[in-house]
Structure 1
């Protein structure tokens, strides 16, 4: 139970850090969404690989036996930030964030159901339903204030769905690798390192505006080091202790953080419906917090060779 609680806390802190990205991006208006996304997760992913080099060397034989899984995760890592930041650019920060994060728990649950034949618990379905409902309320509240065209909004929502699916996919891949006795650092380093490498060409083609001013460079550095590097480090710790479907549901706090920062920092207005959406999201988190641990999550697993003190969840 203590390990599960630690995983929940790690993922909630991660979600808070991720919730700052939309507001941070507004301080680099000359940089396009592709540049922001490629800088954030391209550099952040390579840093994940850099700190994991010793673990990657130790686990290289095991990693070679999972090249297909790692490749799928890396491609998902590369697609995610491009779709996510483009979604926010087209549909608005709140709508893009909400659609991306609200779709992830559904995609994650479906992945577990299809690929692992793991039944979804009633507690998870209740929390996911509440989280999606709260996110939808936030989305509708912000859509009423949006100045984006209908076509841009629809395209942005479509990209948000792609972001949610790829987020669920790479979360599942990392969790799967950890469950197969590959250490957390090696799993994160391999998936995010290769994913980050795929983003570097995009950064080279689109990243010039990030060097045009100190403010834009600072935004890029913050995005890469804090929400992406530190955030995904904590996310990896969390995935050692909770299932991907639970992790992606917990990160539904991110739209709430993004909305609150938009009000406090950017000066956006939040309607009564928006505040109600935040309250529903809070209830979803409470449901996850008080829910009894599923028998599948509670089952002991073989410890990772890299981190023998911490048992990885079984799949």
Structure 2
């Protein structure tokens, strides 16, 4: 298989992960009495255990390489653990719109900074234009959505939410870069994701003692929790890890801007939310950003 075919497969895998991740908001809406922190911790933690169990053979095969990359592995695992807590906290503090914009739109930029600082990977003009369109689209998409429950959010809490959202973007960028780095050092993609998520599970699952009171209180709550763990997180991160075998982390995080588009479309079609014209313009800009990354003549290292 030539390089272009590998690149196309990587793009397709990241797009599949983004589609699955985009279903989480609608799924969580069916369990409103469950803490968002609990759902995030359970989904990421259980997915981590499943990834480890699914990849036991690969982990045994790659154990020597993982030991060499132990610092990167620990860094990536802690980033995986922090990300859902920071992401959901940002939305709780500053509202869904601001929290989403800061967390998701900042991740590709942080990834590029990490790649440049650690490997001196160049940034292409195509990537820069794609990021500009995508970030503008995310902002318009967020302003076009209703903001339930955030009218009384104070300025101080909003700015705290912005800072926490930046932490979410940084941690997402960090574990994406860490996975890609380990893959480039010869660790299998399954081993890279499973080892990081295994570390995160050790951190996240005990937190359910404080946040998970209603997680299995009803069959619907249990179904939502299990769906989130099995489909968007377990299957989604299998796809994400596979995609990182073939494309740069900066490109991968940029493509995952599709996630909020899917989330909004499902919110409109399934939950019945309303979307202002600005939101539809934002979707158009995000799709343009994705097209700039996926319709290309040849892959390159710069994203």
TM-based fold match above 0.5:
yes
1:244 aligns with 2:254: no
Q: Which whole-Å CA distance do the structure 2 matches of 1:43 and 1:127 have between them?
A: 34
Q: Relative to structure 1, is the Cα distance of residues 174 and 243 closer, same or farther in structure 2, using a 3 angstrom cutoff?
A: same
Aligned equivalent of 1:312: none
Aligned equivalent of 2:231: 226
SS at 1:142 equivalent: coil
Which residues in structure 2 correspond to 1:37-52 (within 5 Å)?
37-52=40-55
Equivalent of residue 176 in structure 2, options 171, 178, 185 = 171
Aligned equivalent of 2:131: 128
Which stretch has the larger CA shift, 79-88 or 147-156? 147-156
Which sections of structure 1, spanning at least 5 residues, go unmatched?
Answer: 299-315
1:138 aligns with 2:102: no
Aligned equivalent of 2:113: 110
Which stretch has the larger CA shift, 248-257 or 191-200? 191-200
Equivalent of residue 206 in structure 2, options 194, 198, 201 = 201
Q: Relative to structure 1, is the Cα distance of residues 244 and 148 closer, same or farther in structure 2, using a 3 angstrom cutoff?
A: farther
1:97 aligns with 2:97: no
Aligned equivalent of 2:279: 274
Aligned equivalent of 1:162: 167
Shift of 1:148: 5.1
1:19 aligns with 2:22: yes
CA RMSD of superposed structures (Å)? 1.8
Shift of 1:97: 3.0
Q: Structure 1 length normalisation: TM-score?
A: 0.90
Which sections of structure 2, spanning at least 5 residues, go unmatched?
Answer: none
Aligned equivalent of 1:64: 67
Shift of 1:39: 0.5
Shift of 1:59: 1.3
Q: How many residues align?
A: 298
Q: Which whole-Å CA distance do the structure 2 matches of 1:240 and 1:41 have between them?
A: 21
Q: Which whole-Å CA distance do the structure 1 matches of 2:58 and 2:191 have between them?
A: 5
Q: Relative to structure 1, is the Cα distance of residues 143 and 111 closer, same or farther in structure 2, using a 3 angstrom cutoff?
A: farther
Shift of 1:85: 2.0
1:259 aligns with 2:264: yes
Q: Which whole-Å CA distance do the structure 1 matches of 2:266 and 2:90 have between them?
A: 18
Q: Which whole-Å CA distance do the structure 1 matches of 2:229 and 2:300 have between them?
A: 37
Q: Which whole-Å CA distance do the structure 1 matches of 2:99 and 2:183 have between them?
A: 30
The answer (yes or no) to whether the contact 1:242–1:297 under 8 Å persists in 2 is no
SS at 2:266 equivalent: helix
Q: Cα deviation per residue 1:200-233 (whole Å; 9 max; x = unaligned)? A: 1112321121011111111110110010000000
Aligned equivalent of 1:187: 192
Q: Which whole-Å CA distance do the structure 1 matches of 2:46 and 2:61 have between them?
A: 23
Which stretch has the larger CA shift, 181-190 or 88-97? 88-97
The answer (yes or no) to whether the contact 1:134–1:277 under 8 Å persists in 2 is yes
Q: Which protein has greater RCO, CA pairs closer than 8 Å, 6+ apart?
A: 2
Q: Which whole-Å CA distance do the structure 2 matches of 1:137 and 1:297 have between them?
A: 27
